[in-house]
Every structure is written in structure tokens, then in C-alpha cells.
Amino acid sequence: MPDFPTLAALRAAALAPSAGDDAAAGAVIARQAVLTKPPGSLGRLESLVAWLARWQRRPVPRLQRVQVLVFAGNHGVAAQGVSPYPAAVTAQMVHNFAAGGAAINALAAQAGGALRVVPLRLDRPTADFTAAPAMTEAEFLDAAQQGAAAVPAECDLLCLGEMGIANTTAAAALAAALFGGTGWAGRGTGLDAAGVAHKEEVVRAALARHAAALDDPLEVARRLGGHELAAILGATLAARRRGIPVLLDGFAVTAAAAPLALLAPDGLDHAAAAHLSAESGHRRLLAALEMTPLLDLGLRLGEGSGAALAVPLLRAALACHTGMASFAEAGVAGRAA
């Protein structure tokens, strides 16, 4: 049985209340209070473990099965000259992933994660969304469903990444449609100032073309997104239903998942921003989503690279939580007053 046999089923899943486990998070917080450190002194490491417990629905979270999923898709809007690279690079990079030669191969291995790359209709790009909706309803639903189906049932943490030439233009259009304003276009893979201005104009034209239909976040995702971006939305939603916390990568992945936060206020509570991309719209997008990135390393790659890089940080947080002694166990005096 597919997770989302119809668009109505996808929407109902996105609107369903969250399934986080308060008791599991509470158990983590209670244990942290007795470990040999001043309360709160491990900062964000402490709240991260509680977050893992809440969404794994397990009082002692684990990070044994880490899955990195990279979705790949092609974009009709590439024909507008919005990327310095040819669209053929998407499929070429999928071969490179399979051969083990990309950054994400190295980073997923370092993270102790399994890497799976899911190409979506690479021979059939989306429609150029300055002229028509990027996807039909059936195409959008199929991509979202493929994303959901790629999420393993048994998984402790999901890292999401993407590959799709011109997808930072789609991401900018999504962000502009979902959160309003202009100036969402950035350099992507390396546009110069004139290229960014042209990209911004393409985004403006797309929003004007679809202006009458941008009230519904799923319709925004269908009209202005892409196959791999719809798959990321489907995977993010499926992960919440299966009790799997998610690390979002950069600008493209965050924009792909963002409709879920607009459909339900807690729609991305099981997802954390792994890093702040150097793509200029990302800081603003994360602020709109009230997310604080874990890392800020100046990455502007995609592929799930930032998400994979944050996994060792989560492992460190969990190692402290499970490995530290309590004040009583260690014979360390507690606070005097």
C-alpha cells in the first residue's frame, strides 16, 4: 500500500497531528539533569538528544542505522540559462555517485551512513515553470510517493540530499511563493552578479505566471518544484509517520520540505537544519521556518553534504548522553546552593 495513493491522502498525512513522544524526550531531560556537568552545559547537544528521543519515540535514542537519501531530478527551467552547468550534469553526477566519486560518497561514509541515490525521471525534466506547472498532479504525486517509499522502515536518522541542475532556481521560486518577498535567487553553482539578476527575473516571471494558484503549499510544490524536490517532501513526511528524525541539507532541501511547515505548524518538528548553506536565501528561509542550523561551514554543494556532516555531531551528543556517569555514580558533589 503506497503511503500517498492520492493527493488527498498526501494532504491528510501532512495535516495529521505530530507523533512525537513527550515521555521519551522527558526521560532524556531527566537523565541529563543528573549527569556530571552543570545543568545545560552541553548546550545544543542536550536538546538534540531529547529531539532524537522524541521522534524515535525511544527514551534512549540510537544512531545505528543512518540513511542518506539523495534524490535526483531534471528541471525544464534549466533552459532559461539559470545555471552555469548543463542539465546533463545531473545524470553524470548520478553515475559519479554510483562509482563512489562524489563528495557525498566520502561524507556519508564518514557519517557511518548508508547512501542511496534515487534518480527520478532523469530523461523527462519538469516543464519550464515560467510557462507551465512544473509537474502534473500525477507526476507530483508519483515523485512524492517515490520519496516516501525510499525511506527505510527501520532507520534511526534520515539525511536528505538532492542533485538537479537548476534546482536552486526552483528552490528560490518555492521560497518566494511560500514566504513572499524578492531577492531569493543566489549564485547556485557559481553565477556572477548578472546571472543572479537574470535568475531573480526568472523567479519573478514564474511567480507572476502562477500568481492565482500560490495559496496552497502543495500546489506551490507541484507548480514550482521538481521531481527530486517533491520526493524530498514525500520522504520528510513519511519519516515523521515512521518515527524517524530528519536532517535537512541546504537551501534546496529546506525549500523542498518547507510546504510541510506551512500546512501544519509542527510539520517539520521532526526535522533539523543540519547546516547554513552559503546560498544566499538559506539564512532567510531558516529564519522563516524558525530553524537554527547546526553547522556553518560555508558549504554550497547540496547532495546531502551538510546533512551527512552533522551526523558525527549527533553521535557525539548521544555518546555523552549514554556514556557519562551521574553525580551519584561518580561520587561527584552536586551544586552547593
Ligand X SMILES: O=C(O)c1cccnc1
| Contacts to ligand RBZ by CB under 6 A | 83, 85, 89, 93, 162-169, 188-189, 301-303
Q: What does 308 interact with, of ligand RBZ, ligand X, none (CB < 5 to 8 A by kind)?
A: none
Residue closer to ligand X (CB basis): 18 or 189: 189
Give the active site residue among 162, 200, 219, 303. 303
Residue 168 within binding range of ligand X, rule CB under 6 A: yes
Q: Is 228 a catalytic residue?
A: no
Listed ranges 44-52, 113-121, 203-211, 245-253: which one lies at the site for ligand X (CB under 6 A): 245-253
Q: What does 67 interact with, of ligand RBZ, ligand X, none (CB < 5 to 8 A by kind)?
A: none
Shortest reach from residue 118's CB to ligand X, in Å? 17
- The pairs formed by 22-26 with CB atoms below 8 angstroms and a separation of 24 or more are 22/54, 23/59, 24/53, 24/54, 24/56, 24/57, 24/58, 24/59, 24/61, 25/50, 25/51, 25/53, 25/54
Following DSSP, what letter does each residue of 170-205 receive, concatenated? HHHHHHHHHH--S-----TTT--HHHHHHHHHHHHH
In this structure, the strands spanning 66-72 and 113-119 are parallel
Q: What does 250 interact with, of ligand RBZ, ligand X, none (CB < 5 to 8 A by kind)?
A: ligand X
Residue closer to ligand RBZ (CB basis): 55 or 251: 251
Shortest reach from residue 82's CB to ligand RBZ, in Å? 6
Which member of 273, 302, 307, 314 binds ligand X (CB under 6 A)?
302
Name the residue among 109, 100, 236, 232 with its Cα closest to residue 163: 232
3-state secondary structure of 31: helix
Where does 45-167 show beta strands of DSSP type E? Answer: 66-72, 113-119, 157-163
Residue closer to ligand X (CB basis): 93 or 144: 93
Residue closer to ligand RBZ (CB basis): 56 or 74: 74
Listed ranges 15-23, 204-212, 214-222, 246-254: which one lies at the site for ligand X (CB under 6 A): 246-254
Q: What does 300 interact with, of ligand RBZ, ligand X, none (CB < 5 to 8 A by kind)?
A: ligand X
Residue 96 within binding range of ligand X, rule CB under 6 A: no
Name the residue among 150, 152, 153 with its Cα closest to residue 162: 150
Near ligand X in 187-226, by CB under 6 A: 188-189
Name the residue among 126, 52, 124, 53 with its Cα closest to residue 311: 52
Residue 46 within binding range of ligand X, rule CB under 6 A: no
**C-beta of residue 166 within 8 angstroms of C-beta of residue 77:** yes
Residue closer to ligand X (CB basis): 33 or 297: 297
Residue 250 within binding range of ligand X, rule CB under 6 A: yes
Q: What does 251 interact with, of ligand RBZ, ligand X, none (CB < 5 to 8 A by kind)?
A: ligand X
Residue 172 Cα distances to 49, 138, 189, 196, 256, angstroms: 32, 23, 14, 11, 10
Residue closer to ligand RBZ (CB basis): 40 or 101: 101
Buried residues in 191-201 as b, exposed as e (16+ CB within 10 A): beeebbebbbe
Residue 277 within binding range of ligand X, rule CB under 6 A: yes
Residue positions annotated with a catalytic role: 303
